[in-house]
Amino acid sequence: MDEQLLDKYGIKQIGYYVESIEESAEFLRSSLGAGPFVDLGSNPLESCKVRGEDVDLKMRTALGHMNDIQLELIEVESAGPDPYHEMGRFGLHHFCIWVDDVDAAVEEMEKQGMSLAMRVTSGQGLQIAYVDAREQLGQYIEVNTPSEQLWQGIKAVHENSPAEAPALLPMAALMQGK
């Protein structure tokens, strides 16, 4: 595999498929000091294909940090099919890498025996691919282009929030950095 896939930006995020964002954020905050998490809510996707088929995926996400590691909590609100339900359990779902060319990265991973599970264009235009690496790694790999401003904003919330801050904050907290 092209060493640039992981070496240029590194692993930027670890994603968890959760039953409840509130409960998961509270657990991670109280037990590991992660967060607080910023509730990004349920945002409509511009497009979503799961294994080549158009799907109406609805999900809610929250982002937080544990030092330099961004954590994503994903609560699925639709019945599937999708890579979350395919997992068959809640818990660790993926790690996310940033690449400059999503299509080239997916092609490189497919050459290594992984398969494209989902391709999404977010409502904000972000191109996201989920590569099925369950056979190789027991999880998926999320691939997208850099979103440094969001990553830094979530990290600033983590760094600037007092220990007694709630585990889950509204999106407005991102604009304030705390």
pLDDT at position 3 over 60: no
Homologous superfamily (CATH) of 4-165 is: 2,3-Dihydroxybiphenyl 1,2-Dioxygenase, domain 1 (3.10.180.10)
pLDDT band at 1 (very low <50, low <70, confident <90, very high): very low
Domain chopping of the chain, boundaries: 4-165
**pLDDT attached to residue 72:** 98
The DSSP bridge pattern shows strands 168-169 and 69-76 to be unpaired
| pTM, rounded to two decimals | 0.93
pLDDT, tens only, 93-130 = 999 999 999 999 999 999 999 999 999 999 888 999 99
Give which of 130, 125, 133 is closest to 142, Cα–Cα: 130
pLDDT, tens only, 24-40 = 999 999 999 999 999 99
Residue owning tokens 């940033």:
98
Average pLDDT over residues 153-171: 93
Phi/psi at 74 (5° precision): -125, 120
User: Which residues have CB under 8 Å from 25's CB, separation 6+?
Assistant: 35, 36, 37, 62, 64, 73, 167, 168
User: Which residues have CB under 8 Å from 24's CB, separation 6+?
Assistant: 16, 18, 73
Distances 67 to 73, 150, 178 between C-alpha atoms, Å: 16, 15, 15
